[in-house]
Amino acid sequence: MAVQDFLVSKADLGATRLRETPHAGLGEGEARFGVEKFALTANNITYAAFGEAMNYWGFYPAEDGWGRIPVWGFASVIESRCPGIAVDDRYYGFLPMSNEVVLRPQRLTSARFVDGAGHRAALHEVYNSYSRCSADPFHDARTEDAEAILRPLFTTSWLIDDFMADNAFFGATGHGTGLVMLSSASSKTAYATAYHLARRPGIEVVGLTSPANLEFCRRLGCYHRVATYDSLDEFDANTACLYIDFAGNAALRRAIHTRFTNLRYSSSIGGTHVDQLGGARDLPGPRPVLFFAPAQIKKRSAEWGPDAFQQRLLSAWREFVATALDSAAPWLVIEHYIGPEAVASAYAAVLSGHDDPRRGRMLSLAAGPA
C-alpha cells in the first residue's frame, strides 16, 4: 500500500484530504514505522488551531497550505536502516495522522529514542521522544487505547494540580474556601485536573461547561459544583478564586475576569472553543499565564529526583486509568475508526465539538485491524 497522509487545510480546519504517495527509500540511520493507531481529541484540534503560532505544523510538514496534525499513538518498525531499531519493535509517541512514517532514531536506549530529523531539532524534546512499549512502565497492553487517549492529557492535568498546590493556590485558600473554576469541564484534561484538585483542602472545584455537557460533568463526581457558562452570577463575585482555562473562549475569560474581583490567578491551558478564541488585551485582573508543563516537570524532577517524580506520576496514572475505565461508571468509552473514510468522519465529529464527551476516539489508517 502507498503512504497515506490525512491532510488538513491550515486556513480552514474543516477542509481535509487524503494524500497518497509511493514509499520513499530509507536513508542510512532511518527507520520506517507503521502507524497502527492513534487518539484524536480536542487537544489535537488545538494543535492545529495553534499550528502556526506554536509550530505544531513543524513536526510533520506537508505541501503549501496543508498540515498534518500530530497525534499520540502506537507505531511498529516495519523496516530499519538504524542500528538498535529492530523490525516489530513497538513505540508510543507523537505521530502523524498517516499509515506510516519515517523517523531518524537517535540517542537510543533500551527504553526510548529521540527523532533526530533536522526539521524537528528546534521542537521541544517531550514531543520528539518515543517510548519503547516493552520497556515503558506506563504501558499496559490491556489499556493501551486509554493510554493513547489520556496519557498526554493526564500528565498535564497532574502537573496543573501540582503547580497550583505548589503555589498555595495563589492565596485563594487562605481566607475560607477558594473557588477553582475550570472551563470545558467535560474535557478529559479538565476532568483529570478536577480529579486531583478535589482532594485538596480549602478549595471548591467548579466545572463550567455547556448545557449539553452539564449532566455528564455532574455524573463524573469530581467537581464539587458544575454550572453552565451563562451562570457565573450563581457565584459570589468577591470570593477568592482561580481560573483554569481549557476553553480559550475570549468572551468567557473576559466575563470571569470582570465579575470576580478577587481573581488570584488565571491559567491558560487550552482552546477547545476553537471558534471563540481571542486575545487578552485590556483584561481586568491578573494577566493570564500560559501553563508550561515542562517547567513544572523540571522543577519537581530537581526537587524530588527524576525517579521519584516518575514513580509519583506512574502511581497517579494507574489509579486514574482505573477510575476512567471503571465499568460501573465509565468516564471514557473507547471507539475505533479504521480506514480513510472513518478517520475523516471521526475528525469532523471531534472538530465540530458536538460530541458525547464520554467518547474516546481511536483512529487508524493502517491496513490491518487496529
The minimum distance between CB 369 and ligand NAP, in angstroms, equals: 25
Residue 186 touches ligand NAP, criterion: CB under 6 A: yes
- CB-nearer residue toward ligand NAP: 19 or 359: 359
Q: What whole-number distance in Å separates Cα of residue 67 and Cα of residue 6?
A: 9
Residue 266 touches ligand NAP, criterion: CB under 6 A: no
Mark residues 241-260: x for contact with ligand NAP by CB under 6 A, - for none. Answer: -----xx-------------
Closest CA to 152 of 127, 120, 182: 127
Stated as kind and residue range, the H or E segment containing 44 is helix 42-49
Q: What is the largest CA-CA distance in the chain?
A: 65
Stated as kind and residue range, the H or E segment containing 304 is helix 293-304
Rounded to a whole number of angstroms, the CA Rg of the chain reads 21
- CB-nearer residue toward ligand NAP: 2 or 348: 348
String of DSSP letters for 63-76: STTEE--EEEEEEE
The minimum distance between CB 181 and ligand NAP, in angstroms, equals: 12
Burial of 81 (0-12, 13-18, 19+ CB in 10 A): middle
Say how many residues touch ligand NAP, by CB under 6 A.
28
Q: What whole-number distance in Å separates Cα of residue 154 and Cα of residue 325?
A: 14
- CB-nearer residue toward ligand NAP: 144 or 245: 245
Closest CA to 324 of 8, 85, 129, 41: 41
Range 2-41, binding ligand NAP (CB under 6 A) = 41
Q: What whole-number distance in Å separates Cα of residue 120 and Cα of residue 102?
A: 13
Residue 349 touches ligand NAP, criterion: CB under 6 A: no
Residue 267 touches ligand NAP, criterion: CB under 6 A: no
- CB-nearer residue toward ligand NAP: 123 or 185: 185
The minimum distance between CB 246 and ligand NAP, in angstroms, equals: 4
Residue 185 touches ligand NAP, criterion: CB under 6 A: yes
The minimum distance between CB 161 and ligand NAP, in angstroms, equals: 13
- CB-nearer residue toward ligand NAP: 96 or 271: 271
- CB-nearer residue toward ligand NAP: 32 or 273: 273
User: How many separate helices (H) and strands (E) can be counted in the chain?
Assistant: 9, 18
What b/e sequence results for 334-354 when a residue is b if at least 16 CB atoms lie within 10 Å of its CB, and e otherwise?
beebbeeebbbebbebbbebe
Range 143-162, binding ligand NAP (CB under 6 A) = 152-153, 156
Residue 353 touches ligand NAP, criterion: CB under 6 A: yes
C-alpha cell at position 346: 471521526
Which residues pair with residue 100 across a beta bridge? 34
Whose cell is 463524573? That residue is 220
- CB-nearer residue toward ligand NAP: 15 or 86: 15
Phi, psi of 299 (to 5 degrees): -60, -50
Chosen residue from 98, 193, 272, 364 binding ligand NAP by CB under 6 A: 272
- CB-nearer residue toward ligand NAP: 156 or 173: 156
The minimum distance between CB 215 and ligand NAP, in angstroms, equals: 11
The minimum distance between CB 47 and ligand NAP, in angstroms, equals: 7
Whose cell is 537510543? That residue is 108
- CB-nearer residue toward ligand NAP: 16 or 189: 189
List of residues contacting ligand NAP (CB under 6 A): 41-43, 46, 152-153, 156, 184-189, 209-210, 213, 246-247, 269-274, 291, 293, 353, 357
